[in-house]
Amino acid sequence: MTLPADIAANSDWIPHRVDWNTRQVEFLKIPSSKFVEPGFLADFQPAGSSDKAVISATDVMAMEADTGPLHFIFHTAFCRSTLLSKALNIQGVSVGMSEPGIFANLNGAGEQAAPLVEPIMRLLARARSDARAVFVKPTNHSNRLIPQLLQSCPDAKAILMSNPLETFLESVARKGMHGRRWARNLLLEMQSYAGMDFGMDERELFCMSDMQAAGLAWFLNQNYFHALASSAFGPRLRVLDGDVFNKERAATIKSVLEFAGVGHQDTHVENAVNGPAFASHSKLGGGFDGDPTATKAALSDTVSEEIAQVAQWVGMIIQQTGQPLPLKQTLFTPQ
């Protein structure tokens, strides 16, 4: 039987989900060597029952752990945030976690999750012998938690990661029907906590194309991040464009570490850029293609035309709202 003290003392035990009916927290034993492998931690499958433990929420809230600095990578999806979180697994410097399952679980529980947020963050921040800080990337479907996460971790810095609308729409299109359905669901989700009245009745909303829905979801995400950056949390936040990251990998990693106050040397950045994170697809494994022209070539002329039309339409909405969007990069000045 795994005791609460064992969980607290071993940072390999990652909080995975909460059973809200029984008020028990499930932990998975995930060594940090797995963090750079393709995929999300939410999908991790333990080798056996000994790598899974269940602890009462009361015991979790009472846990005392040796913690270190914890920082966040928040994102709007399809902007290379997974790649960045994996690249931040730098030996002797930092650990990067990509989408532990606990964030979606906390997000879906509403107010009953509030007492567990801070204890769970303390456990994610547990000190590791090979790292001076932990960077964690929650799923974008838990972005409504951002204010609560920042409030529970007053020393944390956060990267707000996004990308141009056209790049986002191209990613949605490449995923076919699944991507288009996902985009419609994202719009409904964003409207529930960061919504705006677009002056469209139910019939007009129903008649929108999938790409229009995706465009509005992107706009609401951008607007939400702008509101966060303009709030009291602003000094702790920096905006990063995913396309800029792809072009300037070393400058991005260096800037993230410096913004978070994580000590490092130039060789650490070089090792990260030349490391395993960039050797394969961050989510699927296999070959990694960072060339944006390859993406455009894979789209039909019809889809490319639709994306251009939606970008123009969303641009008019931005003009009407007067919001300073799209977000400008603030992490560093691109070359």
Domain boundaries in the chain?
65-321
pLDDT digits (tens, 9 = 90+) for 6-44: 999 999 999 999 999 999 999 999 999 999 998 999 999
> Are 106 and 26 in contact, with CB atoms under 8 Å apart?
no
Asked whether residue 332 carries a pLDDT value surpassing 80, the answer given is yes
Closest CA to 15 of 109, 82, 101: 101
pLDDT digits (tens, 9 = 90+) for 246-256: 999 999 999 99
**In the block, which residue shows the tokens 């956060």?**
158
HEC secondary structure over the chain: CCCHHHHHHCCCEEEEEEECCCCEEEEEECCHHHCCCCCCHHHCCCCCHHHEEEEEHHHHHHCCCCECCEEEEEECCCCCHHHHHHHCCECCCEEEEECCCHHHHHHCCHHHHHHHHHHHHHHHCECECCECEEEEECCHHHHHHHHHHHHHCCCCCEEEEECCHHHHHHHHHHCHHHHHHHHHHHHHHHHHHHCCCCCCCHHHHHHCCHHHHHHHHHHHHHHHHHHHHCCCCHHHEEEEEHHHHHHCHHHHHHHHHHHCCCCCCHHHHHHHHCCHHHCCCCCCCCCCCCCHHHHHHCCCHHHHHHHHHHHHHHHHHHHHHCCCCCCCCCCCCCC
pLDDT of residue 127: 85
**pTM exceeding 0.85:** yes
Banded pLDDT at 146 (limits 50, 70, 90): very high
pLDDT digits (tens, 9 = 90+) for 87-127: 999 999 999 999 999 999 999 998 999 999 999 999 999 98
Distance CA(39)–CA(17), nearest Å, equals: 17
On average, the pLDDT of the chain sits at: 93
pLDDT of residue 2: 83
* Class of the CATH-defined domain 65-321: alpha beta
Q: What angle do CA 283, 26, 127 make, to 5 degrees?
A: 75
Average pLDDT rounded to a whole number, residues 322-332: 95
Banded pLDDT at 335 (limits 50, 70, 90): confident
Average pLDDT rounded to a whole number, residues 154-181: 96
Banded pLDDT at 287 (limits 50, 70, 90): low
Asked whether residue 78 carries a pLDDT value surpassing 70, the answer given is yes
- 70-75/158-162 β-pairing: parallel
pLDDT of residue 283: 74
Distance CA(256)–CA(242), nearest Å, equals: 13
pLDDT of residue 129: 79
Distance CA(310)–CA(16), nearest Å, equals: 38
pLDDT of residue 296: 55
Q: Which amino acid, one-letter code, is at 82?
A: T
pLDDT digits (tens, 9 = 90+) for 201-229: 989 989 999 999 999 999 999 999 999 99
Distance CA(154)–CA(232), nearest Å, equals: 12
Q: What are phi and psi of 134, to 5 degrees?
A: -115, 130
Distance CA(5)–CA(9), nearest Å, equals: 6
> Are 170 and 295 in contact, with CB atoms under 8 Å apart?
yes
Distance CA(288)–CA(26), nearest Å, equals: 33
As beta bridge partners, residue 254 has none
The percentage of the chain sitting over the pLDDT mark of 90, rounded to a whole number, equals 88
Q: Whats the size of the chain, residue-wise?
A: 335
Average pLDDT rounded to a whole number, residues 288-308: 71
pLDDT of residue 289: 47
Distance CA(142)–CA(322), nearest Å, equals: 27
pLDDT of residue 130: 78
> Are 98 and 85 in contact, with CB atoms under 8 Å apart?
yes
Average pLDDT rounded to a whole number, residues 285-305: 66
Q: Could you tell me the strand order of the sheet in which 94-98 lies? A: 94-98, 133-137, 70-75, 158-162, 237-241
Banded pLDDT at 295 (limits 50, 70, 90): low
Closest CA to 191 of 144, 228, 139: 144
Average pLDDT rounded to a whole number, residues 222-251: 97
Asked whether residue 1 carries a pLDDT value surpassing 80, the answer given is no
